[in-house]
Structure 1
Amino acid sequence: MAFSDARKELDCSICLHIYTNPVTLRCGHNFCQECIEDVLDRHGRSGIYCCPECREQFQVRPQLSRNITLRNIVESFRSTAQEKKEEKKESQIFCTQCIHSPVIAVKSCLHCEASLCDDHLRVHSKSPQHVLSDLTTPQKNRKCSVHEKILEYYCTEDSACLCGSCRLHGDHQEHQVEALEEASEKRKENLTNALQKLVKKREEMEESIKSLQKYKRKVQDDADGVTKRVTAIFRDIRRQLDILEKRILNKISRQAEKASFPPSDLIQDLEIKKDNLSRKIRHIEEICNMTDPLTFLQESDTGDLCDTEDGDEKDKKRCDKLLNGGGDLIATEILPLLHTGLYDIITGVNKGINIPEPAEITLDEDTAHNNVYLLDDKKTACRITKNLNRPQLPNIFTILPQVMSSQSFSSGRHYWDVDVGGSSQWRVGMCFPSIDKAQYYADLGNNPVSWCLERNANQLLVKHGYKSATPLAGNASVTKVRISLDYEAGQISFYELVFPIRHLHTFTGIFTEPMHAALYLGEGCIKICRENQEL
């Protein structure tokens, strides 16, 4: 809030002056105690009291609460205003010629050592020795401290103001000296130029700050959007996993219940037959314990004592069939269901987050150097010593062992994978079609129109433009590389295809031409991995 606005908050809305003994009504509005009591006295005649500010009504005369905090603020403000008034009065300089009444001076004469008002300034001498100055400049600072003469010159070598005696007889006789006005104008000109540069620099900084703030807001907005999407994806994954889990558990339960019926029936039959056998065994044991031969022979002369149960062989076959032919429930029923369910969930997630499909990349033989041999599939390039003597087409790399892709990308997000395990010296990356293929500075990454990841001397580096290569930390024994392009965002990223995937570097810029994949072969072979190839 501006100072003037804050000052208005200290005025009583009744008397329109600064508060005196401020009090507060129940509705929260403040008034001078005397002002509000006078208003309430008038309201008492009608029997209805109300706030002059918000018109809230009170059935009985409202109690007035002293506002100590507001009173302290008012007193502090009054004290400060009085001090400023006194300081202003003390700082005023009055005309020395006006002897009857004080009149504020507007200029000082250094020669007369007098302060002059407008009237006396008009009749004052205009001769050169009467030098006029602003009242803000102390008189003693306008004169030489040695010769007590007016300072009229400026020594540029010592950065000192001089009087006439200092210039003629002092230490500045041989120095470069200028009139104060001339030196002042030059200094003002220099300061004005410096000021313009500083203002321009400040404006540039303000623009940079605005751009950074805009970028920061964009990053935060993007992060918020991604957070919402990821949260929704995980929520949906958990929901689908819960459904899949219930489905599989129900399947296990049903299969187990179904598989338990035959064994249960067979167990019941075998239990009955086992009980019959147990009774026969006990009867035979009792007979065998008899000592009287006649009784033994009579009791044991039953042909069914030693007979086995009918269907023993059939029961054994049923048991063997159940034990050996039931199969693995997990392998035959559950794993296929689990695999299909998880695959469907992952497929749905990939569609939901719009993961780009791998780009189909083939190498353009019309750009390949004569020592770069391409296999028939146009996905594998090898460095050879034999010169292939291809026709000298306009787009061929004539000096460096490089090759570009047939495909180009001028929008969207794309990625492809490269197997570099067959070479110990290589570069993989991207370039504009305008790269000058007949020059040494067409070296991939060593110019403003190409970007690359390089392995050289058992070290990983990234290159772009005419800058020195930037080494990357970590193991240089990379066998598979993923190259990702986001054309609109102006980003080229490199990843090592390990588990988990490792980000190596991201270039950021502005792409003004279509982008081609490009390879440099120091030796050995490099292969573009086929679409959806398992790495």
Structure 2
Amino acid sequence: MASADLRHELSCSICRNIYTDPVTLKCGQNFCWVCIDRLLDTEGGYGDYSCPECRATFRKWPPLQRNITLCNVVENFLSRQPHQEEITGICCTYCIHSPVPAVTSCLICEASLCDNHLKVHSKGPEHVLFDPSTSLENICSGHKKILEYYCTEDAACICVSCSLFGEHQGHKVEMLDEASLKKKKKLRDVLQKLITKRKKTEQRVQSLEERRRKAQEKASGEAERVTGLCIDIRRRLGYLEKKVLSEISRRKEQVSLSLSDVIHQLEIKKDKLSRKMRHIEDLCNMTDPLSVLQDPDTGDLCDLEEDKGDVDTARHDGVDQGVELISRISHTVSALINDVNVIFYVQDPADILLDVNTADNNLLISDDLKAATWTEITQNRPETVERFQDSQVMSRSGFTSGRHYWDVEISGSDLWIVGMCYPYIARGGRQSLIGNNNMSWGLYKGLVYNNQCSVRHDCKVIPLPQQISSDGVRICLDYEAGQLSFYELCDPIRLLHAITTTFTEPLHAVLYVYDGCIKIQGGINCVELSS
């Protein structure tokens, strides 16, 4: 330990190595002759000279007094040190016998040097000496000195001359070890953030893969369901086709027979009338008055079977009823086909997000903006002109074209309304309720009409004959066609009511719920790849 302390005391503060030909300045500081000579030479163009250790200044080139005592101490110290090759295994390039103590290296000669050969290289200022354990990459290319400092302003490794007299003069510098520790700390922080980010990315990938797997499973299930439903529809249509065609054929035959009978009766009547007409014409042409007056058929000439007209009318009515029945069957088939088209005309559900700014303060909106739950606890949101005052909320965005649908699941509520509205619907009072104005259309379920549903618009109520047994409802919109349809999400899906009108403004999804929850199902969310 004492040897290490003495080695530190015998080291030049410029080159950080053991003194070589040490000299003393007026201020009492000691340096290697070559080191201080080159350092003072670099200061020649800046005016005053200064000591790099204590910063004492000299107006002229300070005399360099060789410190003989210090030279002897250095020689005695080096003579007592163990051979360098025993530690490092480095040999002197110029020694015949190898290995020999190699204590330093020369940058110019690119050779390792022992004490004897070192003396020759120390006399020339062009020789740059450094510890053999130091890599050539750690030498300043401009001043040929070891890089010991780090300039924080320029992010560069520099030597002492770069700091004192070079382009980094006056900059904030740190020791290399200190700067390295600080950078390592920053790198560890960055590494930890990268690890966390990679972990989140992996979790995101796993989540997306799970969503993809579920989407594929759902698509496969839907494909099977649709295939089965289409098979059932084709079977029903085939059966209905045979039944309708058979009924049409029967009705056609019946109508044909009825009309043939009527035509036959009319032909008989026409022949009888023709005979009557000829007989009357004969009477009119007679000149004998007695013969005209005594004709036996003259009395019933006015009775021309007027009672038969009712029979003819009844027969015609029966024919018309048959044609009307055929027409109704045709319309039924057309409605069934249209219904099937409505069910399958959309590929994906619309991504409906609720607008919290429009939600009544008694509605709790979920974080994903997909569910509205009625609560007695007021949410204390600011009162604005956009906010509903009666347990209602509408979607953020509206539809101005295309075909769309969205599904809802109702739970725990016996009073709810779902539908579409214009953005300028009233926000307060009874006129703001869905269907109580000409700006909204809604499917309503309440305690009236024996708990059955109804469709409402502009205060007009259309009671639906059927009850809703499931908890799901689908709302379909065909903006250009002006059609808004409500379906019950049962198996198979069932049309409740279709509205046909003309839409003139963007249509927003809107819902009302009391003492329960309405949740919007489905929707396509954007995938964010950044964390």
TM range (shorter): 0.3 to 0.5
TM-score by length of 1: 0.40
- Kindly name which structure, 1 or 2, has the bigger radius of gyration based on alpha carbons: 2
- TM, length-normalised to structure 2: 0.40
